[in-house]
Amino acid sequence: MRIAIVIDSFVRGGAERQALYAARELALRGCEVEVIYYYELPGSYDLALGGKAKFTYLPKRGTYIRFFFRLWRYLKRNRFDVVHAYKSIACIYGCAAAALAGVPVVFGGYREQYTLRGVARLGHRLMNRFVTGWIVNSRGIADTLVAGIGANPERISVVYNGIEGGAFASDLSPEQAREKLSLPPDAQVVSIIGRLRPEKNHEMFLRMANCVRRELPSAVFLVVGDGPMESGLHKLAASLGIEDAVRFLGLRDDIGDLLAATDVCVVTSPREGLANSLVEAMSVGVPVISTDYTGVEEVVSDDVEGFVVPRDDAEAMAARVVLLLADDSLRKRMGAAGIKRVAKQFGLGVMGGRLHQVYSDHLQEARHRSRGRSR
C-alpha cells in the first residue's frame, strides 16, 4: 500500500508529532509511506521521528493555484493508493489535489472541535463531497464535523493519538527535577502544558492558582509553552499578586523532566480535540484535572485517572487541586490508573494498527467498486 501523508509543516505541535508517529508505524507494517510538507519552519521536529518513511519538501511558492497544481501533478505522477491530509488548510489542498489525481482513497484529517466559518468552512463543505472519509482523534470531533460540514457519520473513523512508550519518562527523581527548575525539593507543583493561545484559557489557570494559594501558600504553578497570550498572562499574574508563584517556562523540549517535577497537570480549555498534554501526563503517572470539554471522557474519567470540572470554573478546579496535593495515596491511585489507560488506549502500536486497518478497509472497498464498474 502506497500512502502519502500531506501536512503543512513539522513545527512542534500535537498534529505534527502524530503525523510523524503515523508515518513510522505504517512503514513498520510494510507500507510505502511518503510524507509531503510545504513549509520549513524553525523549531520543527526532527524528521527521524518518522522512522523509515520518505519525506518530500514541496515548497509552497507562488499563488495558491500554482501550488495546488504542483501538488496535484506530484500525487498523480507517484500513483498513491491512499492520501491522508492532516490539519485544516492542508486538508483542502491535499484532498482536492488527491481527488483530482485519481487517488483511490482520500482522507481528510481533523484534530480539533470544528468551529470554522467563512471561506475555510466552505472549502471543507465542498471537499466533503468527494473525500472517501474523515479521520479524527475523538468521537467529540466527529460530532462537530457532522454538525459543521455535513460529514457522513458512517464515513468518519476515530483513531486515537498514539504515545511512544517511555517518551515522557525522566531519568530525574521528582526532587532532582525540581532542583533543575530551582524549586524547593518538597514543592507542590501544578503544571499546564500547551500553546499560550486564547482557546486554551490560561486565564482560568491563573485564577485557579490564585484560589489554591489561599489554601496552600507554597504551591508553585508552571506554565509551559509560548504564544501570543504570554504578555497578557504575565500582567494577569501580577494583578492577582501571584507572579512569584507562577513560572513561565516558554517552549521546552524536556517535558519529561517537567512532568517529573509535577504533582498535578491540568487542562483549562473550553474545547479540545484530544488533549495530548493529558495523555502525556497520564503516561508517566501524573494525575490530571480537566475541564468538561466535549469528548473529555475519551481521555480521563472523573475520579479515576483524575478529575473533571465545569468549564471556566476556577474555584472548582482549585478545590480538586488542593484535594490532590493534600493526598499522596489519591495521587498514586489516579496516577497508576492513568498509566494503565494510556497503555491500553493510546499506545503507538494501537494507533498504527487502527490506522492501517482503516486505510486497508477503504482501499479494498475502492478496488471492489472499481472492478464492478469495469465489468
pLDDT value at position 339? Answer: 96
pLDDT value at position 153? Answer: 95
- The 3-state DSSP class for residue 216 equals coil
Average pLDDT in the 239-263 region?
Answer: 96
pLDDT value at position 374? Answer: 59
pLDDT value at position 98? Answer: 97
Average pLDDT in the 280-303 region?
Answer: 95
* Residue with cell string 500535537: 14
Report residue 185 as a C-alpha cell. Answer: 525539593
Instruction: Identify the CATH assignment for 174-345 out of 3.30.70.1060, 3.40.50.2000, 3.40.190.10, 3.40.47.10.
Output: 3.40.50.2000
Strands 189-193 and 156-158 turn out to be unpaired
Tens of pLDDT, residues 47-102: 999 999 999 999 998 788 999 999 999 999 999 999 999 998 999 999 999 999 99
Average pLDDT in the 139-153 region?
Answer: 93
Sheet holding 264-267, edge to edge: 246-250, 220-224, 189-193, 264-267, 288-291, 306-309
**CATH class of the domain defined by 2-162+348-374:** alpha beta
The reported pTM is 0.81
Domain pair 2-162+348-374 / 174-345, same fold: yes
Average pLDDT in the 312-328 region?
Answer: 97
Tell me which DSSP letter residue 6 carries. Answer: E
- The 3-state DSSP class for residue 30 equals coil
The ranges assigned to domains in the chain are: 2-162+348-374, 174-345
Q: Are 306 and 284 spatial neighbours (Cβ–Cβ below 8 Å)?
A: no
Alpha carbons 49 and 22: distance in angstroms, whole number: 10
pLDDT value at position 267? Answer: 98
Nearest CA among 218, 303, 318, 196 for reference residue 266: 318
